[in-house]
Amino acid sequence: MAQYIVRRLVQLILVLIGISAVVFVTMHVLPGDVAVLLLGDKATAQQLAALRHQLGLDQPVYVQYFRFAADALQGDFGTSLRNSRPAFEEVWIAFPVTIQLSFAALFLATIIGVPLGVMAAVKPLSRFDNIVMTVSLFGVSMPIFWLGLMMILVFGAFLDLLPIGGLMAIGDEPPRVTGMSVVDSILSGDWHLIGESLEYLILPAATLGTIPLAIITRITRSEMLSVRTHDHVRTARAKGLPEARVIVKHVLRNALIPITTVIGLQLGLLLSGAVLTETIFSLPGLGRVMVNAILQRDYPVVQAGALLTAFLFVVVNLLVDLGYAYLDPRIRYR
């Protein structure tokens, strides 16, 4: 197990190096001049040249990258070109919002998708199964931006049941500890803030979780149908075990490995796809920060955000892989 973890950590380092190089080169080959964006069109050639020299933009790209990599190894990801704040600080302030939204969406997708997939597999080709598969196909095909707008119109405007944007009502924010409104509200011990933070999270989490919900439902059904034909399941039924126990212990547990893999992969997709949801619901998350940084050619912020997201994605998938040994004791890592 220890050797496997060490190999995966080495892979993590290589992945981060590759991502940092790709993002760095991509940002530098995009059209546009950072100096012009910062100083404006009326800046003189001398002013533009001086700023490029100050920022190191007049050096070859590979020199700029190695300088960035050397500083990043010491925890310095540079300074934002927009507001002169540390780039990692810019990303870290917004990151908890995206983490909260992504995990809430994945939680909803899992607790709803897995039971739906199990129930659909128990009675394949039944009316319930057909309804679940049709709705899940609709969920996969539905654009997030359209669904978000419909959520706002129906539950916010017409029914007036849920808030339609932001993290909390202005003036009701709990003291910042983690940057996640729900967690900070729980830490404050104020039930009013807890309820309010959850209300503000429902619509964006439901919108972002629609596609993972559909995927998890379909994968769960497919794996359940595959496992229920195995010999050990037929043996369990022949022994007279209750059907519920056969489904949960002998079918679902053996189907959990591919289901868990899909759930882990969905987290990475949620982190990268949260930008639309954050824009629609006015959430100050990492997606909005990254989009603004890309448009303004703020290299340090883009680099810090990409590396932080990639690090979380790789770590989550490592934890998922390690969880296989718990789900199936036959698995051994070497």
Question: Residue 228: is its pLDDT beyond 90?
Answer: no
Residues sharing a CB contact under 8 Å with residue 329, sequence separation 6 or more, in sequence order: none
- Cβ count within 10 A of residue 37: 15
Q: What is the mean pLDDT of residues 93-101?
A: 90
- The token pair at 83 is 């507001």
Summarised one tens digit per residue, pLDDT across range 32-79 is: 666 666 666 676 777 777 777 777 777 777 787 888 888 888 878 888
Residues sharing a CB contact under 8 Å with residue 86, sequence separation 6 or more, in sequence order: 76, 77, 78, 79, 80
Q: What is the mean pLDDT of residues 314-325?
A: 76
pLDDT at position 40: 66
Architecture of domain 87-327: Orthogonal Bundle (1.10)
pLDDT-derived band at 170 (thresholds 50, 70, 90) equals confident
Question: Residue 325: is its pLDDT beyond 70?
Answer: no
Burial of 332 (0-12, 13-18, 19+ CB in 10 A): exposed
pLDDT at position 116: 92
Range in 4-18, 40-54, 98-112, 135-149 the model is least confident about: 40-54
Give me the half-sphere count of Cα atoms (radius 13 Å) on the Cβ side of residue 121: 26
pLDDT at position 168: 86
Q: What is the mean pLDDT of residues 122-149?
A: 85
pLDDT at position 34: 67
Range in 18-27, 239-248, 325-334 the model is least confident about: 325-334
Map out the domains of the chain as residue ranges: 87-327
Q: What is the mean pLDDT of residues 297-324?
A: 81
Burial of 112 (0-12, 13-18, 19+ CB in 10 A): middle
pLDDT at position 201: 92
pLDDT-derived band at 200 (thresholds 50, 70, 90) equals very high
| DSSP code, position 247 | I
Summarised one tens digit per residue, pLDDT across range 244-296 is: 888 888 888 888 888 888 888 888 778 766 778 888 888 888 888 888 888 77
What is the distance between the alpha carbons of residues 214 and 110, in angstroms, rounded to a whole number? 10
pLDDT at position 202: 92
pLDDT-derived band at 114 (thresholds 50, 70, 90) equals very high
Instruction: Output the average pLDDT for the chain.
Output: 83
Residues sharing a CB contact under 8 Å with residue 39, sequence separation 6 or more, in sequence order: 47, 48, 51
Higher pLDDT, 117 or 320: 117
